[in-house]
Amino acid sequence: MKFYFPDSQDQVSPTFNFITEEHSPYRVRQRDDKYAHEILEPLPYDGLLVSKAIVDGSVKGAGKYSMPQRERLYRLGVTRYFRLPEEVVTLGDCGAFNYVDEEFPPYTIDEVLNFYERCGFHSGISIDHVIFGYDAKVSDEDVSPAWKKRREISLQYAADFYEAVERRGGKIEPVGAAQGWSPASYADSVRRLQDMGYERIALGGMVPLKTPDILACLKEIKQVRWPTTQLHLLGITRVTSMEEFALHGVTSFDSTSPFRQSFMDDRNNYHTTDESYTAIRVPQVDGNPALKRRVLAGEVSQTKAKLAERECMKRLRAFDQGSETADRAIEILGEYERLVEPDKKKSKLSAYRTTLEAKPWKSCKCTLCTAHGIEIAIFRGSERNKRRGFHNLSVFATKMHHIKHPLGQEN
């Protein structure tokens, strides 16, 4: 099972000083900052997915790339731009979620193929239009006309895309995008894409679906899927079900969830192969908007807040070194939590204690945890949070690499 990580320009700086919270004054981000695959061993993903909407922008506005970054990507190509090892494969897509409100996708076939070929992707997904709706029992007569239209748009673009790839000499592997609103409609999309010539098909629009619904679609697709057809799940992360997905022809998927959980999830921030732990929040006084407002309003002494913040970091580092107790660390964390969020109804101190007592960073062998220790488990600024996200990717990749069922094997 191959895991692709969608790019969103996430890097960390090797020059960052965790004690002073500062970068080197000579830092140049594009040159010096590192991607996950440059600082983790083994590699945290098998492939990188890059969206045209992220690079070039869409109807919603500019993408996440600055003009110099965009020009550099087109000049160097995706492999050199990201400094990718030879074994990391690349997949381009259009970023359909960025134009979901439009009647038609905003790109032409030539625009998309130019993006894929100029950037040197190994594979590229055909233009599709997301269907936001699912009803396994709806009849063909009662199905929404808008859903039908979007599926036909996706299939027509797929047919034109495949022909264009062939006409240009097959410089990339074409991946057909299948949309649907039910097991039957997804299966029909796969059948038609196979008839066009696609040997690899990406299933889109499944992110909101529950796992039983995804499995129902895969089982229906299996009835029409050719033995050599490989399936890719767009944006799906269901660790406990991936083995079963593999039995129905899924050979790859992409997701940012393990990375984003490091700073977006309320509690499951630091992952291990068996558990998830809550990162210990020590917000910066000068960087926390709520606390800054309270300081400016005279509700909190800035001096007192900064002293508590520094003491939290001091005791956590001392705990990591074995010269401080968990009780003492929890004590100051409680004081600071009450300063930062005095009206908070549910404290995280119990979760923090679980994290401290388990010390998961001590047993982790990834290069980041080995180098930075408890800093990885502290929720505080993007340099720590992204490193924790990179750590999560490495754990996730380890889990996925245990799934090695051959294509089409039965239970």
93 is catalytic: yes
Burial letters 116-150, b for 16+ CB under 10 A, else e: bbebbbbbbbbbbbbbebbeeebeeeebeeebeeb
Which is the catalytic residue, given 10, 33, 56, 93? 93
Residue with tokens 């006409």: 167
DSSP assignment of 349-401? HHHHHHHHHH-HHHH--SHHHHHHGGGGGEE-HHHHHHHHHHHHHHHHHHHHT
Question: Do residues 180 and 205 lie in contact, with contact meaning Cβ atoms separated by under 8 Å?
Answer: yes
Listed as own residue / partner, the contacts of 370-375 with beta carbons closer than 8 Å and 24 or more positions apart are 372/18, 373/320, 374/316, 374/317, 374/319, 374/320, 375/18
Query: Greatest CA separation found in the chain?
Result: 71
Which residues pair with residue 3 across a beta bridge? 253
195 is catalytic: no
Q: Where are the alpha helices (DSSP H) in 82-209?
A: 109-119, 145-167, 183-196
Which residues are catalytic, by number? 93, 254
